């Protein structure tokens, strides 16, 4: 680790951010207990990469625009680029990535991506702001990819952890298809029972679980009756859950966009989930992570946490 981590926080929650990819590197409670992945290299060394300018894999690791083809790694290039630190306080930090000759070679748009982090009490707010500084409409997608501890450090085993969604989630989900990294075209039955998912390592033997008909914009992760994480993602309509089976994390990934469908060969504007950003316009994507206990309310529904 050669990059200098920046630590921000309160007396109840602390976060560390790496300028390489503006990646959330760790999240710890007042006692220093880790709430994120241990980044064991046997499984995955990532922590919370940002997915930009595209979420997921492009078929053939290339995307097309107006008859031209450009190379693109899975989940885009932002996670591999150094972000400049443009603002820093004890409780927050803002990082910035701007287009340069290297990015324009694979993504010919004059973008700016600002990534803000702010801690208040037991909550971390992350806000990504994508700006089109060029003269043409800009296609893009964006996603978060944080890996939270599984199990969390508050007691209970791996098998006791639950995801409780804000709403019932009966709709079929999608999984990765026969082309590696691409989205299968057929839905499969949802593993959610009402509003609750009991994840197992075996669920992820075929890669990620993907909700593209998601009703919720919030969920709770952890063992019922113990301290848990409440995760809000108001600006991203889709969700992925992923881990390497057996690892000590679960990635909770709010997405605005996703990988190419199996067999997709079209122009980027025809790809599901691609957003169109007009010249001079900006769009924000927020994700909040709060350490919670006691009772909380979701739109009139009361939960014992």
What tens digit of pLDDT does each residue of 118-131 get?
A: 999 999 999 999 99
Q: Which of 3, 35, 37 is nearest to 19 (CA)?
A: 3
Percent pLDDT > 70 in the chain is: 95
- The two tokens of residue 287 are 């994700």
- Over residues 162-181, the pLDDT tens digits come to 999 999 999 999 999 889 99
- Residue 71 clears pLDDT 60, i.e. is over it: yes
C-alpha–C-alpha distance, residues 291 and 12, integer Å: 9
Q: Sorting pLDDT into bands at 50, 70 and 90, what band is 295?
A: low
Over residues 95-113, mean pLDDT: 98
Q: Sorting pLDDT into bands at 50, 70 and 90, what band is 48?
A: very high
- Residue 296 clears pLDDT 60, i.e. is over it: no
- The two tokens of residue 181 are 């990294």
Under 8 Å between Cβ of 176 and 212: no
- Residue 272 clears pLDDT 90, i.e. is over it: yes
The full set of domain ranges for the chain reads 6-304
Over residues 104-108, mean pLDDT: 98
Look up the pTM and report it: 0.95
Task: Compute how many other C-beta atoms are within 10 angstroms of the C-beta atom of residue 145.
Answer: 22
Residue 211: strand, helix, or coil:
strand
- Looking at residue 300, its pLDDT comes to 52
Over residues 218-247, mean pLDDT: 97
Q: For residue 163, which phi and psi values (nearest 5 degrees)?
A: -105, 125
Q: Which of 186, 240, 250, 244 is nearest to 51 (CA)?
A: 240
Over residues 222-240, mean pLDDT: 97
3-state secondary structure 181-192: CCECCCCECCCC
CA dihedral angle for residue 105, residue 132, residue 100, residue 77, rounded to 10 degrees: -60
- Residue 1 clears pLDDT 50, i.e. is over it: no
Q: For 6-304, CATH number? A: 2.70.98.10
- Residue 61 clears pLDDT 50, i.e. is over it: yes
Over residues 45-56, mean pLDDT: 96
Over residues 276-301, mean pLDDT: 84
Least confident residue range of 70-84, 154-168, 243-257, 284-298 = 284-298
- Residue 139 clears pLDDT 90, i.e. is over it: yes
- Looking at residue 39, its pLDDT comes to 86
C-alpha–C-alpha distance, residues 119 and 92, integer Å: 6
Mean pLDDT, the chain, integer: 94
Under 8 Å between Cβ of 36 and 43: no
The secondary structure element, H or E, covering residue 235 is none
Under 8 Å between Cβ of 208 and 191: no
The secondary structure element, H or E, covering residue 30 is none
- Looking at residue 303, its pLDDT comes to 53
- The two tokens of residue 161 are 């952890």
């Amino acid at each position: 680790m050669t990059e200098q981590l920046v630590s921000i926080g309160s007396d109840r929650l602390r976060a560390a951010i790496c300028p390489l990819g503006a990646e959330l590197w760790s999240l710890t409670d007042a006692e220093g207990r880790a709430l994120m992945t241990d980044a064991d290299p046997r499984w995955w060394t990532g922590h919370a990469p940002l997915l930009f300018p595209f979420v997921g894999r492009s078929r053939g690791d290339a995307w097309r625009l107006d008859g031209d083809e450009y190379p693109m790694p899975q989940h885009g290039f932002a996670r591999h680029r150094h972000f400049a630190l443009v603002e820093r306080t004890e409780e927050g930090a803002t990082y910035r990535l701007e287009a340069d000759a290297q990015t324009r070679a694979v993504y010919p748009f004059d973008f700016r991506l600002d990534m803000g982090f702010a801690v208040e009490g037991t909550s971390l707010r992350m806000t990504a702001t994508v700006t089109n500084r060029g003269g043409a409409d800009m296609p893009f997608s964006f996603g978060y990819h944080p890996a939270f501890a599984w199990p969390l450090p508050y007691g209970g085993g791996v098998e006791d952890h639950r995801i409780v969604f804000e709403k019932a989630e009966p709709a079929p989900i999608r999984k990765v298809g026969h082309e590696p990294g691409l989205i299968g075209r057929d839905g499969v039955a949802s593993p959610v029972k009402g509003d609750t998912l009991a994840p197992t390592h075996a669920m992820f033997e075929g890669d990620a679980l993907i909700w593209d008909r998601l009703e919720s914009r919030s969920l709770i992760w952890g063992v019922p009756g113990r301290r848990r994480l409440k995760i809000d993602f108001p600006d991203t309509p889709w969700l992925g859950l992923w881990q390497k089976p057996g690892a000590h994390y679960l990635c909770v990934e709010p997405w605005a966009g996703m990988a190419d469908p199996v067999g997709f060969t079209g122009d980027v504007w025809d790809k599901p989930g691609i957003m169109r950003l007009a010249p001079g316009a900006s769009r924000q994507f927020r994700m909040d992570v709060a350490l919670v206990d006691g009772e909380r309310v979701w739109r009139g529904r009361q939960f014992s946490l």
